[in-house]
């Protein structure tokens, strides 16, 4: 049976479609909800997301050997994110991690949790770790600032867009000007059975609101901006999810080769879409230049200040000044691109310093 949040019984709630089915798209006024969420006056129901826990004394050293992020010194309450990659460096899983000193909490997309837990259980061997798929016990609530009543809860704090230790930015926009700095993000864990009581009295925003803020922050999302070919460089994820100097892990060779000697074949762009049609193109629509398909629209939303916006993954070779079009069936949407991942990102060996940036010392 498909999941349905208890908050769908709230007045005005309209259920979202895939990939966010089971929670509210909105509660009757999407733009008002988005403004409230952006001001820190509302929370969003993310209870369709997944939770995997890893406990035991070897948990951090074990996760460190498997993934792209340096986790050995992760302190209780500290948040980060990591990637589990294929041998070819393509993204398989993208868990968000916070450790409480005894347990590492991995927050995932809903569809991601069970396969991730199964994969981790196959990798345990003789180590002192215990992996639990805990999505039926815990629910996620999102907000742009800490919710006071959740002060003693496990909370994941999004590191985006700040460059983590060992990370590297593929955007030409420095942090003070990066739009992600306008969207701090907190994901609180609450017992699933207590979800309705936990948010009682707090204004609610639907998933349309949080997605619009995510898109405006240039924040990629697993299964939305990614496909079976995606490598982290294409989405600027070396910024927060990859430590370039840590020990060996699956996919590391591709990470290092593309970063040092090559270029990612595709790049993430932000799109300002023509809003005169009063509709939005569907995710998966073709992005074209001069009649030639050069990429795919991955996300689109109506932002309360900027209007129709989107994210797309396009070929690296597309002219950064080119005007794009998004084709959704017979509908055409003009789209102005804003660079997220620089067209010449990568190939840092021999590159003059100061353009793309590593983490601060």
Binding-site residues for substrate sit at 187
Confirm if 169 and 239 have CB atoms less than 8 A apart: yes
Q: Which of 274, 276, 275, 298 is nearest to 287 (CA)?
A: 298
Angle at 325 (CA atoms; ends 320, 329), nearest 5 degrees: 150
185 secondary structure, DSSP code: -
β-strand pairing of 204-205 with 43-45: parallel
Rounded CA separation 132/146 (Å): 26
Distance CA 58, CA 53 (A): 13
Return binding residues. 187
Distance from C-alpha of 235 to C-alpha of 212, rounded to nearest angstrom: 17
Distance CA 289, CA 318 (A): 8
In the block, which residue shows the tokens 């994110």?
A: 81
> Helices 30-38 and 207-216 meet at what angle, rounded to 10?
60
The C-alpha atoms of residue 60 and residue 63 are separated, in whole angstroms, by 5
* Distances from the Cα of 187 to the Cα of 104, 147, 300, angstroms: 15, 10, 22
Which pairs from 1-10 meet CB under 8 Å and 24+ separation? 3/47, 3/48, 3/110, 5/45, 5/47, 5/48, 5/195, 6/195, 6/196, 7/45, 7/47, 7/195, 7/196, 7/199, 7/204, 10/204
Distance CA 192, CA 211 (A): 22
Residue with tokens 């498997």: 66
């Amino acid at each position: 049976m498909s999941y349905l949040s208890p908050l769908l019984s709230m007045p005005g709630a309209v259920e979202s479609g895939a990939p966010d089915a089971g929670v509210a798209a909105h509660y009757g006024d999407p733009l008002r909800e988005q403004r409230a969420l952006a001001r820190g006056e509302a929370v969003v129901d993310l209870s369709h997301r997944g939770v995997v826990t890893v406990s035991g004394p070897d948990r951090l050293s074990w996760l460190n050997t498997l993934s792209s992020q340096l986790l050995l010194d992760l302190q209780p309450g500290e948040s980060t994110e990591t990637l589990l990659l294929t041998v070819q460096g393509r993204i398989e899983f993208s868990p968000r991690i916070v450790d409480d000193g005894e347990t590492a909490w991995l927050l995932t997309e809903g569809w991601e949790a069970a396969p991730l837990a199964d994969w981790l259980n196959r990798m345990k061997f003789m180590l002192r770790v215990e992996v639990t798929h805990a999505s039926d016990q815990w629910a996620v609530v999102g907000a742009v600032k800490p919710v006071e009543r959740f002060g003693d809860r496990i909370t994941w704090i999004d590191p985006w867009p700040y460059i983590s230790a060992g990370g590297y930015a593929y955007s030409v926009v420095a942090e003070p000007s990066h739009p992600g700095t306008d969207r701090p993000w907190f994901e609180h864990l609450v017992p699933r059975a207590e979800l309705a009581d936990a948010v009682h009295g707090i204004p609610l925003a639907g998933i349309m609101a949080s997605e619009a803020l995510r898109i405006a922050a240039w924040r990629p999302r697993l299964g939305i901006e990614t496909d079976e070919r995606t490598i982290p460089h294409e989405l600027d994820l070396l910024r927060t999810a990859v430590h370039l100097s840590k020990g060996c892990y699956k996919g590391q060779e591709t990470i290092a080769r593309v970063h040092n000697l090559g270029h990612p074949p595709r790049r993430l762009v932000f799109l300002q879409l023509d809003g005169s049609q009063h509709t939005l193109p569907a995710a998966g629509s073709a992005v074209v230049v001069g009649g030639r398909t050069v990429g795919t629209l991955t996300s689109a939303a109506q932002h309360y200040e900027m209007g129709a916006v989107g994210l797309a993954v396009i070929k690296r070779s597309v002219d950064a000044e080119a005007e794009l079009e998004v084709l959704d069936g017979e509908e055409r949407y003009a789209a102005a691109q804003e660079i997220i991942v620089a067209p010449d990102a990568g190939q840092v060996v021999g590159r003059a310093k100061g353009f793309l940036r590593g983490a601060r010392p």
